[in-house]
Every structure is written in structure tokens, then in C-alpha cells.
């Protein structure tokens, strides 16, 4: 039962942390932009930081940021549903989203991926709690089944 509570809390945390990471990436001035047209490199005095919404970023950046948000939310909701209902089918989006968000975080560790690390850690905790709850339920069934078999003889 304790593992389900941990899974539920980690699912909520993953959703909140994923949304906060998205808001941080969109609104915080973290993208360096050169204000002069330099051929080789930008001089230090000409660097200005803008938010992702203001900076000239491509569609691939937006797709990555939105995909990481969507996967964090899907994984968090999967953890919440599994913790509350105990349905096995809810574990599939949790585990799949955990692996995909971890991969996205690792591939883009030098850029926007590291911002989603708290959400990845929360999803990892939820996935571990999901497995732990399944194992403890399986062990209880085995112990109960063994006791019933012994008492009937």
C-alpha cells in the first residue's frame, strides 16, 4: 500500500515538474542570441539572452519541448491512474513515458533536456514504486496461496 502512495505522489510530482520545466523553457531568458552579424563568432559584449518564445528557434526545438511535456504528463497520469485503480494497463504509459523522457533528457543533456531531469527522476520513482507494488502483491498472493494449501490438507 505504501508503494502505491509513493507512486501516486511521484506521478503528481512528474506532472507538476514537467509543466514547470516547460514554463521555464518557454519564458525564462536562457537562449543566447548574438545582436551583431558576425562571420565567425559573436563578441562577448553582443550576446543577449532571450526566452524560447522570443528567440529565433526552429520547429525541431518546439517539437522536442512539447514532446517532453506531453510524455511527462502521460507518464504522470499513468502513475496516478495505476496507483488509484490498480489497473495494469496504466503501467504501460508510465513505463514507456519514463524510458522516452529519460532518452530525450540524455540526448539533449547539453541543452533543454537537462531542464526535464526532475520530471525524469519523479517518473523513475513512480515506475519503481509500480514494480515494487506488483512484487509485494505477488508475494502476498503466494504466501496466502501457500497457507490455504497447507490448511486444506
pLDDT tens for 24-43 read 988 888 777 777 776 677 77
CA distances for 50 relative to 44, 58, 98, 126, 132, angstroms: 15, 14, 30, 34, 44
Cβ contacts of 36 within 8 Å, gap of 6 or more: 42, 43, 46
Residue 74: the pLDDT is 95
Question: 108-129, pLDDT tens digit by residue?
Answer: 888 888 889 999 999 999 999 9
Backbone angles phi, psi at 33, to 5 degrees: -130, 135
The mean of the pLDDT values for the chain is 84
Question: 75-111, pLDDT tens digit by residue?
Answer: 999 999 999 988 888 889 999 999 999 999 999 888 8
Separation between Cα atoms, residue 27 and residue 121, nearest integer Å: 23
Domain boundary assignment for the chain: 2-28+57-148
CB 42 within 8 A of CB 36: yes
Cβ neighbour number for residue 61 with a 10 Å cutoff: 16
CA-CA-CA-CA torsion sign (119, 16, 68, 115): negative
Residue 40: the pLDDT is 74
Checking if the pLDDT of 148 tops 70, the result is: no
Amino acid at each position: 500500500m505504501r508503494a502505491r502512495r509513493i507512486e501516486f505522489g511521484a506521478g503528481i510530482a512528474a506532472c507538476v515538474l514537467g509543466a514547470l520545466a516547460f514554463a521555464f523553457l518557454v519564458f525564462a531568458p536562457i537562449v543566447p542570441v548574438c545582436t551583431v552579424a558576425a562571420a565567425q563568432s559573436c563578441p562577448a559584449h553582443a550576446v543577449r539572452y532571450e526566452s524560447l518564445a522570443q528567440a529565433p528557434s526552429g520547429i525541431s526545438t518546439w517539437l522536442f519541448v512539447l514532446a517532453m511535456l506531453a510524455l511527462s504528463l502521460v507518464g504522470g497520469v499513468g502513475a496516478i491512474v495505476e496507483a488509484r485503480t490498480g489497473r495494469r494497463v496504466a503501467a504501460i504509459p508510465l513505463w514507456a513515458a519514463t524510458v522516452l523522457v529519460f532518452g530525450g533528457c540524455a540526448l539533449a543533456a547539453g541543452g533543454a533536456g537537462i531542464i526535464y531531469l526532475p520530471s525524469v527522476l519523479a517518473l523513475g520513482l513512480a515506475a519503481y514504486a509500480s514494480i515494487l507494488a506488483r512484487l509485494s502483491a505477488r508475494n502476498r498472493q503466494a504466501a496466502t496461496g501457500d497457507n490455504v494449501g497447507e490448511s486444506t490438507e
